[in-house]
Amino acid sequence: MSSESILAAQQRLTRLVQQRPGVALVEETPAIAQWEGAGKTHTRHPDGNVIHTDLPRELGGDGERISPGWLLRAAMASCAVTRIAMLANETGVALQKLEAEVGSITDVHGLLGLSREDGQPASPGPTQARLQVRIAAAQVPDEQLRELVSEAIRLSPMVAAFRDAIPVQLDIDTGPA
């Protein structure tokens, strides 16, 4: 898809949402993961794409596949890059380079169900995340690029999932294998 067709699609969607705000809430395609045994899973998309994961060696996995935690960081990084590119396209900024790196820190106490040394419970999720963006565009002032990145990150769905910590509804179905 070309930059022009992406911009045209964004403009059509913007007009549609402005005219009919009710269409803005979209139920997204679910990800369905299945356990393969040990620490391995596979997650299928209805279009046929499959992602295979494994526990890291430190947690008893083979480490042959990417970990679910890495996928979370990859989702944030790729969403950030995509949203920055969209905004650059909308504002006429011709990017020469765009890259995002996401790292996080997790307290393993939480994953293991242990209290920290001070007796307090620890979250099993990341305690902090770091997003580093590397961007370049010819004849665009650094400050303009910083503003573009800041605005795009404010609008990035995966960054918002980290930042806003949405509630998770848990439904449990039990039954025969």
Residue 122 and residue 153 in one domain: yes
Query: Within a domain: residue 125?
Result: yes
In a domain, 23, yes or no: no
Residue 93 included in any domain: yes
What pLDDT score does 173 carry? 86
Boundary (domain end) residue, out of 66, 93, 117: 66
Q: With CA atoms as reference, report the closest residue to 87 among 141, 28, 153, 131.
A: 153
Residues 77 and 127 in one domain: yes
* Residue range of the domain that includes 74: 67-165
Task: Reply yes or no on whether the pLDDT at 27 is more than 70.
Answer: yes
Residue whose token pair is 């001070």: 118
Whether the pLDDT of residue 1 is over 80: the answer is: no
pLDDT for 138: 93
Structure confidence at residue 176 (pLDDT):
84
User: Residues 43, 97: one domain?
Assistant: no
At 125, the amino acid letter reads G
- The mean pLDDT value for 25-31 works out to 89
Q: Are residues 117 and 158 in the same domain?
A: yes
Same domain, 99 and 149: yes
Q: Are residues 60 and 77 in the same domain?
A: no
With 90 as the cut, is the pLDDT of residue 82 above it?
A: yes
Look at residue 165 and give its three-state secondary structure: coil
| 71 and 157 inside one domain | yes
Instruction: Give pLDDT tens digits for 93-133.
Output: 999 999 999 999 999 999 999 999 999 999 999 999 999 99
Q: What is the pLDDT of residue 122?
A: 93
Helices (H), 20-141: 68-91, 108-111
Instruction: Examine residue 16 and state whether it is found in any structural domain, yes or no.
Output: no
Domain assignment of residue 18, yes or no: no
Q: What is the pLDDT of residues 32-57, one digit of tens each?
A: 999 999 999 999 999 999 999 999 99
Amino acid letter, 144: Q
* 105: in domain: yes
Instruction: For 138-160, write each residue's pLDDT tens digit.
Output: 999 999 999 999 999 999 999 99
CATH number at residue 100: 3.30.300.20
Residue 130 bridge partners (DSSP): 103
Q: What is the pLDDT of residue 152?
A: 96
Query: What domain count does the chain have?
Result: 2
For residue 65, the model assigns a pLDDT of 95
